[in-house]
Amino acid sequence: MDEDIQAAQGINQSSDQGLAGGTAQPREVAKGKPGRRKSIRPIAPELARELVVTIRHFLPELAVWLGDVKDKRDPKLVTFPLKVLLLQGVLMFLTHSGSRNHFNNWTRDAVQMARLLGRLMDCEVESVAHLDTLEGVLRKIDPVMLERVLAASIRRLIRMKALEGWRVGSRFLLAIDGTGMHSFNEPHCEECLKTEHTNGTVTYSHKLLVAFLVSQDGFALPVACEFIENAGGIYIKQDCEKKAFHRLERRVRDLFPQTSFWLLLDALYADQNVMRPCFAHGWNFCISFLDTDMTALWKEAQSLLILSPGQRASMTLPNKEGSREVRWINDLDYAGMSLGVIFQIDRDAQGQIIAQFAHLTARPVHRDNVWTVASAARLRWRCENEGFNVLKNGGFALEHVYSRNPTASKCYCHIMLLAHLIQQLLIRGRLGAVFEAVFKSFRHYGQKLAQSLASCILPLDLSMPGQIRFSTA
């Protein structure tokens, strides 16, 4: 890693293992004052520079991918290339502006940002466009083209083996779940989902199903998404999360034909129509198993447990917080499919049960892999925390209506997911363990990134790192 970044963050260069490592920050003792030593807060790095380095290292073809998005404007009337406008949309989300108006306000005279846009997109950019220009363009773009950019980014990370340590066996963990986007008291468009409540009120909403590539150390990289919506107001039954799952599953298979996944799903997907495609594609799955949803299957599983007393293992939780016991069975027949089941019970230090989990699996569970399966099954919550929670409350404002146009709204969503991916590469890569010490919150980080983009002058000979390690902080 280059020396100026190390120096800027106050790291001891003689023992530094990189910004992603856990190297302690140096301390100084005030002269003449005995007692506790005062720690030095790291100096904030130049975020615009770190962003450019991160994109060029992990996604060097981003300009090409964005340039491949079909532009339906008249070439004679084009002032700003489409790829530049799309990158501005990414920066709007990366800076946590919260709306197009806020982003426009601070980029009105951002000359240095225009130069940065040109540098990243390999073209001449003299000024920053008003985001109304982007809005007009997105209304005419096929959202699928932007999803392909997101998928190309993930394939690039897999190809460069940046995510190799995330595999469980030969499969990547793919957590899929749905969330709400917008809600209205009156019809927003013909594609709104209509919900009639018990108190007589009616709401109209838009929902989203997202597939996240998750890891043990805290990542949730968006892979693809599917919009849960009614088709033009003409339907017999409303769209739902399970219908959207089948559309998303087919698209993930088309976008990643050579990648094997291990799906992490909640109890809603404990259905043979969900399981059969996974068996057909050679994918594994862990689906939450509840006695209230599959009563007959649950009773059969409990009966098999009694007949398998030796299929049990236990461990002590870290920091003497208690213990965890797992039990498992195989060959549970469901609609002609042979399933495995793993049960987990967590107890506190006094032996009281504090949590219980059960999951259906597509592969047999045995003593050699039981802890691997148990750990993987419980990572689905990362799509809630590092995924939806960050997108809603971490500065991206997923629930904000960025556009009332249905097509543009979908495009903004794909751009947001791309920005969410880039942010994780940045704050868990180049910034690493110093992120929390320097910025304290996502809002503070977004403000500093906006200031840096507007004022940073990048050197012509920007040095690139040979490798960027992801932080586990």
Per-domain boundaries in the chain:
288-379
Amino acid sitting at position 424: Q
d(CA 222, CA 211) in angstroms, rounded, equals: 6
Least confident residue range of 139-148, 238-247, 412-421, 450-459: 450-459
**pLDDT tens string 268-319:** 999 999 999 999 999 999 999 999 989 999 999 999 999 999 999 999 988 7
Angle, alpha carbons 107-398-433 (nearest 5°): 75
Determine the longest span between alpha carbons in the chain, in angstroms: 80
pLDDT of residue 18: 39
**pLDDT tens string 414-462:** 999 999 999 999 998 888 878 888 887 888 888 889 988 988 887 777 7
pLDDT of residue 470: 84
pLDDT of residue 35: 60
Helices (H), 160-294: 241-255, 272-281
pLDDT of residue 9: 41
Q: Please, what is the end-to-end C-alpha distance for the chain in angstroms?
A: 19
Per the prediction, the chain carries an average pLDDT of 87
**pLDDT tens string 345-388:** 999 988 899 999 999 999 999 999 999 999 999 999 999 999 99
Element (H, E) at 48: helix 47-58
- In the block, residue with structure tokens 């003409």: 234
d(CA 343, CA 360) in angstroms, rounded, equals: 9
Percent of the chain clearing pLDDT 90 (strictly above): 62
* Closest to 424 in 3D by CA, of 172, 19, 94, 16: 94
**pLDDT tens string 52-92:** 999 999 999 999 999 999 999 999 889 899 999 999 999 99
Confidence band of 190 (pLDDT split at 50, 70, 90):
confident
Q: Which residue has the higher pLDDT, 124 or 421?
A: 421
Q: Which positions ≥6 away from 136 have C-beta within 8 Å?
A: none
Q: Are 471 and 433 in contact (CB under 8 A)?
A: yes
